[in-house]
Structure 1
């Protein structure tokens, strides 16, 4: 693992940690902890390939995520890491790809945008070269690196954090939407995203455009072996079943930007529930009744991969 982000334990006492949740936040947090010398297990109800993270597009960009004062640093930390990983795209799933955020302007972005050397304002919006992550590949890489660092991933459904606390002194909550019931935190809610996968008709750049007056978004991401079309951002919708009408609308919107998409063969449909939280990301530690510690890392909304490493390091700092 690169020394650019594995900073060691500094002589700290090794402890047992169980990370609950096996998506991109859980695996990245577990990997950081393992690299810092902790004995780490990930408890996940489902394989990484079946998590919400695996459905994501996934373009690096601080999208629908708060708190604004912290997101910039978390995102930039993850950006530098992804830039490093892009040198091994077949292994890590990370590539640097050019594209346009249509209708966006530099003045509307936070101070973090000044750190993006490839971000340029053009007539149609913001043009940039950004990390585009093939999530199934990336999740597999994270899991392999975690195991290589001495960690373990176990299939386990958790009903209470007390179950994990009975086996480890520190429990890390990376449960995404599951935090609504497990914490419990009623401010956690789904933001439904539907995607259409088509054969790529030769498109090499990504494109995004948000509709300010609806929950519809228009984007396409060229991934290996497919073009990912989107999408939707439907708050409080728990349905994971693809809607045929919505799929047709997604294809039509994308085809208005690139007409060749209308003739592309559909090869699949995906739905993911982004784990949003009313108060934004929660990274916080608390004591459990039995004396153990529970460290929270959830509420990433539609930007989990964008802040994955930054939030993982902030969480690991609380673990100690």
Structure 2
């Protein structure tokens, strides 16, 4: 796989001295990772204890990339809106996390958590990561596999980082798609992320990047449609404008759809298939970017 999970594993393997070849049905920018809202936030993913460790490790890794402009990592203040005065479970992971003051909340909201997040501009980050892999001597082959045995026969070890493709390749019937639709609008001068998982309907988020803002979203379980839904577009705009009125007149630039590769729990584990190590790293749901470096480090450590 050549999404963020596969590329992160590949880079760590290269740093450990291994020769790496990626096989992928699609290469960047035609991956789910390229259409992710991509801010640090452990969304739709478990188990909590392992997720928190992976998320913390990834946050530290992205912080180290902040000085590299080409990587497209931005430091952003973020606000999660809450249903009550209870801190989210991940709040202890970040040193700059605190309850929001009333003057920091959108109209109609009473509770929230302010924290420092990192926004990953995937149209810049994924190509940068792929270029780094290739520059370090890696090979990327566009190839649709009929089964994982093809890879096992050709390598000393195989890392399965195929996202939704793991459903057939592992095979793992517990992997299922959760459709996400997002909008890209021109940035009217915003620099704070807002996320609301507790409102009516789907999760709502406003993610300012350098030149645009990502607005979301939807969480349509079992839905594999990749076509944009005009009704969802209108609903997303309405919810986001309610949280941040300055978005009202922001020009709509693009509507994007991706399928989150969800699973009851993230799978990072090793097994042997015919004497060849097969290391699984998939099922990251809506937190692929958030967990990428932490999961990759654990997966590579299993080799």
Distance in 1 of aligned mates of 2:128 and 2:179? 26
Q: Secondary structure at the match of 1:250?
A: helix
Describe the superposition over 1:56-110 as per-residue Cα deviations: whole angstroms up to 9, x where unpaired: 011101111111121111110110111111122x311111111211126784533
Matched with 2:30 is 50
CA contact (8 A) 2:147 2:168 kept: no
Q: TM-score, normalised by structure 2?
A: 0.93
Give unpaired runs (5+ residues) of structure 1: 1-20
CA contact (8 A) 1:106 1:113 kept: no
Distance in 1 of aligned mates of 2:203 and 2:5? 24
**Distance change (3 Å), C-alpha of 1:197 and 1:40:** same
Distance in 2 of aligned mates of 1:315 and 1:104? 36
Q: Secondary structure at the match of 1:141?
A: helix
Q: Secondary structure at the match of 2:144?
A: coil
Matched, 1:74 2:66: no
Matched, 1:145 2:124: no
CA contact (8 A) 1:55 1:272 kept: yes
Matched with 1:119 is 97
**Distance change (3 Å), C-alpha of 1:25 and 1:105:** farther
Matched, 1:99 2:83: no
Pick from 82, 85, 103: which aligns with 2:65? 85
Pick from 276, 282, 289: which aligns with 2:262? 276
Distance in 1 of aligned mates of 2:85 and 2:148? 43
Say what the alpha-carbon RMSD is for the aligned residues. 1.5
Q: TM-score, normalised by structure 1?
A: 0.88
CA contact (8 A) 1:104 1:126 kept: no
Q: Secondary structure at the match of 2:289?
A: coil
What is the CA-CA distance between 1:312 and the residue it aligns to? 0.4
Give unpaired runs (5+ residues) of structure 2: 102-110
Matched with 1:293 is 277
CA contact (8 A) 1:105 1:121 kept: no
Aligned residue pair count: 294
CA contact (8 A) 1:98 1:128 kept: yes
